[in-house]
């Protein structure tokens, strides 16, 4: 039996023999490509070369590339879908074309020397043609010459047999895909007739040979590429499943130890949830190793969402206590010989995951209770936009989690309403900020300015002590005191209050410098600045940063004014902590 390690080896060896140079996997985070968040295919790091730039390793390349795709996240848990996966790929940069590509694919799949699959169980598809490009009769002819009978060759349009571009623009073209017939019965719920792209599970797509002859331009038109390329991709997990003759990728050697570990932790096991945890955790480990940090924007948000989903599914398995930080070490163990950087980052990975889990657990408990309360109400059919928003704002539930929980209960969620509440909230906060700004202008006394800077320190301290679910809900400053309202589900303990107060005072005693910088909204987001991202004024925003460059304690969008050194503030003292409304707390504080 060929396992995943041998598959990797054979693939690299086969294409090595055909004159391909081996290139290493690029990191999951694309370098210099603003069009996408993550590497989603092996071709992705090669875009400049597919567009004509010479590659230092030559015109024939082969690799095993780490990829992340979240568009199928709902499908994860079935037999074959993953978010993170590895892709075996070979490329011709203006060198060989369809004949060699398809013949080599066929040889690798069916030759006894290589994978030795039964050719009679392989089905292929080709592009049927449309207004942008003609029917791919060339590939059809090649498959026929290799002995594939017409009844195993299918034709589809752009929705199935076209690949790319990976972002909005870039190289793309028709493709020809190979499917393996598992022998499973066709499930009638997918329609009367089964065919390779039927979703019933009888066929598994194993390889995609893309013939890149076009460049998609920003205006939506396709121009012929100067150089015709071949880009192929084979999902390592799926092919391993076939070679090891398993019913799902989670039973292959790539997942087996992780799945067993999850099983041993569960007190109420079921396979699908365990698969989601295994998939998401593996993705999170590789993302953190490649430098992504959980946050509320862009890549960090995707990572946070994967982690939170894994934790939530852990609850459905009734896993006791914190678990993902330790479980991550199993992933590291499984992959460290192939990806030594995982070993080097093991401690960081585990620590970050545990930190996220602690933060999330704090709010999850309350949020789940709140959700249950809503879901149990008699006659309820729907979660309103406002309710979903409250779960989001107060309990840190990504909207998708509310949606999933609702789906499990057969409830609908008003997504439009949620978006509307979010928008209104942003407007209200903006109004609040404008007020604060005006207040600052009207009263630019030294005392008010100091309290304004103290408010920034307070928000940063609250987020550090309580977690990133803390956001400003309102602020009012006079020359005597500050009043700061923020999202948090429960009363702060004496200990938490003391920690917050001490942290602010510690920063004051370090006499950190306050800087103001103007930047684009995207830059501010990338920097992790908190505050109100006003889409209307996208050009430039003003950000106040407190602390040394690159290691700021507070980064907040704000109009000012502020003091230039926090040492001027004196002693910070919290005088009151109380509730404003459900999920919103208020702190009053003074400077002595």
Footprint on residues 342-381 left by ligand SER (CB under 6 A): none
Residue 455's contacts (CB-CB under 8 Å, 6 or more residues apart) are 475, 477, 482, 484
Note whether 41 binds ligand SER by CB under 6 A: yes
Which residue among 77, 89, 171, 468 contacts ligand SER (CB under 6 A)? 89
The 10 Å CB-count burial string (b at 16+, else e) for 545-554 is bbbeeeebbb
124 near ligand SER, judged by CB under 6 A: no
From the list 105, 125, 161, 208, which residue makes contact with ligand SER (rule: CB under 6 A)?
Answer: 208
Nearer to ligand SER, 89 or 467 (CB): 89
Q: Least distance in Å: CB of 187 to ligand SER?
A: 25
Per the CB < 8 A criterion, the answer to whether 267 and 68 are in contact is no
Determine phi and psi for 565, rounding to 5 degrees.
-140, 130
- Residue 216 Cβ, how far from ligand SER at the closest point, in Å? 14
Question: Does residue 273 interact with ligand SER by CB under 6 A?
Answer: no
DSSP at 69: -
Determine, following the binding rule CB under 6 A, whether residue 500 of this chain makes contact with ligand SER.
no
- Opening angle at CA 128, ends 124 and 129, nearest 5: 145
Of 36-44, 242-250, 251-259, 348-356, which part binds ligand SER (CB under 6 A)? 36-44
Please say which residue, 163 or 418, places its beta carbon nearer to ligand SER: 163
* Contact pick of 232, 252, 266, 362 for ligand SER (by CB under 6 A): 232
Kindly calculate the radius of gyration of the chain based on its CA atoms and give it in whole angstroms.
28
**Which of the stretches 5-13, 40-48, 192-200, 260-268 binds ligand SER when contact is defined by CB under 6 A?**
40-48
- Is 233 among the residues that bind ligand SER (CB under 6 A)? yes
Q: Could you tell me the two tokens for 465?
A: 């002590």
Shortest distance, position 184 Cβ to ligand SER, whole Å: 23
With contacts defined by CB under 6 A, name the span among 39-47, 121-129, 299-307, 465-473 that binds ligand SER.
Answer: 39-47
Q: Least CB distance from residue 348 to ligand SER, whole Å?
A: 30
Ranges of beta strands (E only) in 80-221 are 84-93, 122-127, 153-156, 162-163, 170-181, 203-216
Considering the complex, state which of residue 205 and residue 501 has its C-beta at the smaller distance from ligand SER.
205
Cα separation of 244 and 334, whole Å?
18
Residues 131-190 within binding reach of ligand SER (CB under 6 A): 163
Please tell me whether residue 77 binds ligand SER under the rule CB under 6 A.
Answer: no
Note whether 231 binds ligand SER by CB under 6 A.
Answer: yes
Q: Which is nearer to ligand SER, 233 or 385 (CB)?
A: 233
How deeply is 489 buried, as exposed, middle or buried, from its count of CB atoms within 10 A (0-12, 13-18, 19+)? buried
Binding span for ligand SER by CB under 6 A among 38-46, 338-346, 432-440, 447-455: 38-46
**What are the helix (H) ranges across 409-473?**
415-442, 446-466
Q: 174 near 204, Cβ under 8 Å?
A: no
Would you say 43 or 503 has its CB closer to ligand SER? 43
- Among 28, 43, 277, 284, indicate the residue that binds ligand SER (CB under 6 A): 43
| CB closer to ligand SER, 209 vs 279 | 209
What CA–CA distance (Å, rounded) separates 66 from 554?
34
Count of alpha carbons within 13 angstroms of residue 562, beta-carbon side: 28
3-class secondary structure for 533-564? CCHHHCCCEEEEEECCCCCCCEEEECCCCCCC
**CB 40 to ligand SER: min, Å:** 7
Residues of the shown chain interacting with ligand SER in the complex, contacts defined by CB under 6 A: 41-43, 89, 163, 208, 210, 231-233
């Amino acid at each position: 039996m060929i396992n995943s390690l041998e598959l990797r080896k054979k693939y690299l060896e086969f294409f090595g023999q055909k004159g391909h140079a081996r290139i290493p996997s690029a990191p999951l985070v694309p370098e210099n490509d603003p069009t996408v968040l993550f590497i989603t295919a092996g071709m992705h790091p090669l875009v400049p070369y597919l567009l004509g730039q010479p590659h230092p390793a030559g015109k024939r390349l082969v690799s095993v590339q780490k990829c992340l795709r979240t568009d199928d996240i709902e499908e994860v848990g079935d037999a074959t879908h993953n978010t993170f996966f590895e892709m075996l790929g070979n490329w011709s940069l203006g060198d060989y074309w369809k004949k060699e590509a398809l013949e080599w694919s066929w040889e690798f799949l069916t030759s006894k020397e290589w994978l030795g699959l039964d050719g009679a169980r392989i089905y292929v598809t080709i592009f049927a043609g449309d207004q942008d490009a003609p029917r791919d009769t060339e590939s059809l002819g090649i498959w026929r010459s290799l002995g594939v009978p017409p009844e195993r060759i299918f034709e589809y349009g752009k929705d199935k047999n076209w690949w790319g571009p990976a972002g909005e623009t870039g190289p793309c073209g028709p493709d020809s895909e190979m499917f393996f017939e598992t022998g499973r019965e066709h499930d009638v719920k997918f329609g009367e007739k089964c065919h390779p792209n039927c979703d019933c599970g009888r066929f598994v797509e194993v390889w995609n040979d893309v013939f890149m002859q076009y460049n998609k331009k920003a205006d939506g038109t396709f121009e012929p590429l100067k150089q015709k390329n071949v880009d192929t991709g084979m999902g390592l997990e799926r092919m391993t499943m076939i070679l090891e003759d398993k019913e799902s990728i989670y039973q292959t050697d790539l997942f087996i130890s992780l799945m067993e570990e999850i099983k041993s932790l569960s007190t109420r096991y079921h396979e699908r949830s365990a698969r989601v945890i295994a998939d998401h955790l593996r993705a999170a480990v590789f993302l953190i190793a490649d430098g992504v940090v959980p946050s509320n924007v862009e890549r960090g948000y995707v990572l946070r969402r994967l982690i939170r989903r894994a934790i939530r599914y852990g609850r459905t398995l009734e896993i006791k206590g914190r678990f993902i930080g330790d479980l991550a070490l199993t992933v590291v163990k499984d992959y460290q010989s192939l990806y030594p950087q995982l070993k080097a980052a093991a401690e960081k990975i585990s620590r970050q995951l545990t930190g996220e889990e602690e933060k999330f657990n704090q709010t999850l408990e309350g949020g789940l209770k709140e959700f249950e309360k809503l879901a149990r109400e008699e006659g309820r059919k729907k979660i309103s936009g406002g309710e979903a928003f409250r779960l989001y704002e107060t309990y840190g539930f990504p909207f998708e989690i509310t949606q999933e929980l609702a789906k499990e209960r057969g409830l609908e969620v008003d997504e439009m309403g949620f978006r509307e509440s979010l928008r209104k909230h942003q407007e209200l906060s903006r109004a609040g900020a404008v007020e604060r700004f005006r207040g600052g202008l009207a009263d630019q006394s030294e005392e008010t300015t100091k309290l304004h800077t103290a408010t920034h320190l307070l928000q940063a301290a609250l987020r550090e002590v309580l977690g990133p679910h803390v956001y400003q809900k309102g602020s009012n400053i006079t020359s005597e005191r500050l009043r700061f309202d923020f999202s948090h589900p429960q009363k702060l303990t004496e200990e938490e209050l003391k920690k917050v107060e001490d942290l602010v005072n510690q920063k004051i005693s370090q006499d950190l410098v306050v800087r103001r910088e103007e930047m684009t909204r995207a830059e501010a987001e990338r920097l992790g600045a908190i505050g109100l991202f006003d889409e209307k004024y996208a050009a430039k925003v003003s950000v106040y940063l407190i602390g040394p460059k690159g290691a700021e304690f507070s980064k907040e969008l704000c109009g000012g004014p502020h003091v230039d050194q926090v040492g001027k503030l004196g002693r910070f003292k919290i005088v009151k902590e109380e509730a404003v409304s459900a999920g919103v707390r208020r702190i009053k504080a003074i400077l002595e």
